[in-house]
Structure 1
């Protein structure tokens, strides 16, 4: 045998296996694969028989807390829930952190740093909320610098104590992926011109990237026009405690066909001519502290697309002349039919007839109803059949009888009752037994003439 043939035999021998050995390795791989598959599927239960599209449909009936709990059941559940749809992939890669301050700053930064170092770290998306004004500029800058590529949402309250605005405008610190920005000027007591300059500078830098913009407590000197760049990507706009001129500046800078969410609360009652406030794709409308005429105009311009309507302290009646006590100008509500309305919130001491106009006009489509401080005084409040209403939220009613009156009028078919807990400052869902008990009490009310 030649030396070349010998070399070829030596080179090939390590990779040449007998048929018996090949069969043994194939069987070992198959068994290993089966074991891994069983481990991955452990805890799947009966869900494993369903195709992915059915599982997605099942998950659509679960709220966020249920989905998070399901991910903890097993590795299979973790994988299927996390990847069942693009919305869920986005949901579980999105971290919201609130109340960041000097005391918890180090712990939060350590957790974020470790999370982003993991294999999936680049996919982590952050929503950081700095609304407490209790973190130093140095620490805020460090956190924003470490997380700048992962931040897609930022809430910040500017203050005289800490000038956070300078951090947002530093040349070497740009939030390249930010999509949502909320700014509050509540803690700034400096000149109004500073408000204007800060706002214009921040919007000039980030305006063309934003899908959501929220501005609170922004004031400008009289006869001053805010220079707002073209907000071409904006889908959601929230303006709280601003005047009508600021509203106009922002409305003129957006693409109205893109807006799906709009929230307005103004310093002044009268918003003037609203002919240009038509948004073809508007789904969510929240209005606060504006005149009833302006609110109705906005609703009627956009009624065909609205699915969520929140009215907070709308002035459907108010003093017409401050020199004549108790003279009110009342707004005729009439029939306010919103064809696709599913979620209605009425927050404020509205007259009974006003509240009933909104509820009765949309009683066949509403699935969620929130009532807070609504003035239902009439003992013969009519029973309103609401076949799709499932969730009822109640807040600031004077006593249990008032709550039971509302339940008898609107809540006969509800499956969820949420009551506001003042100590916890949130709504708490009542148990099924409590709901059944309150329904029985409501139906037994003798003061009702149903």
Structure 2
């Protein structure tokens, strides 16, 4: 990064991605300030770190900084953007800033439609001397960022806005390339796939899940490419619950090399796949015995199979909001149900975005197979216009419960419809699938 840049102001600093950059640059010696429209847990954390955060946006927050960086939702008419322009301060979007921030860094970049946060967090646990910028909160260091002065960075790369093309990857890891965020690519699958090709071409080393229908077709990437085939490279997968901690154990043999047996926090074949990709990436620079030891530092990430209560009623918060993700998590939960002798498995689904429902409707209809009960909440629209969806007819096979909201009551969950309590769930595994605000209700409003 340009060493003449000493002071940077972040607009929208309360966002998960932009706050990670702010904390990372602070560790590099840059003076950081920021602003957001409202107070939140991230802005409170930043203030506790000694970063000046203005709530709400105000032109007074712009006071001669060397650079202003803003989140994707900030527009040109923002009062602070306008003030920065008036003071002739350069203004960049988060996406535009990445190439500058990560220049000359040894970046291990993880991309993919599903599993990238988990893979990034596992890799950051293994590469414990690297900075880590994750799109979720790691329970290992209780933050989305581990900000060190190290030149090595583990980075969750985002395809939703094509910003993964700006992250300067030394090692590119791709968990899968299932079409998502297609509006960014004009709903053109060829443009979407080309972006992934371009991302991989930037790196000296690539680690790919070669059983992905697209990634498996790639040849001659022009760099060192490790092709991982989960169905033949993972062996002896089994699951245990140890001191109330779910773990997946597996043996990894890839390209005729026996990497040995590993144990990682979490349950499911998808966890083994994410961990294997992280192990293969880390093995480019670390001995296997060190990887096997360091992977034990991983203890999960917030909102991914996040066990909130234990005992007769097990409440779990999960970020899965796509049929592929829900299917994988439910498969792991059924195994967890066996291990814990839980009486029932209840899925509480808060659909996320009408566009995602429309694009994956049949997948959503099928992905809840095997649950004992399905609760469907109103769509978390994220500002999108409503689309007519006959949930009652489409999901009739599940005899679903339709509720308006959920409230935590001790170690139970209460369901409400038209401001009246319609059910109190107090037994078995209660899992909330959401990328919206259900997470706060599951946690008792926290």
User: Whose helix fraction is larger, Structure 1's or Structure 2's?
Assistant: 1
Structure of higher RCO (CA pairs closer than 8 Å, 6+ residues apart): 2
User: Whose strand fraction is larger, Structure 1's or Structure 2's?
Assistant: 2
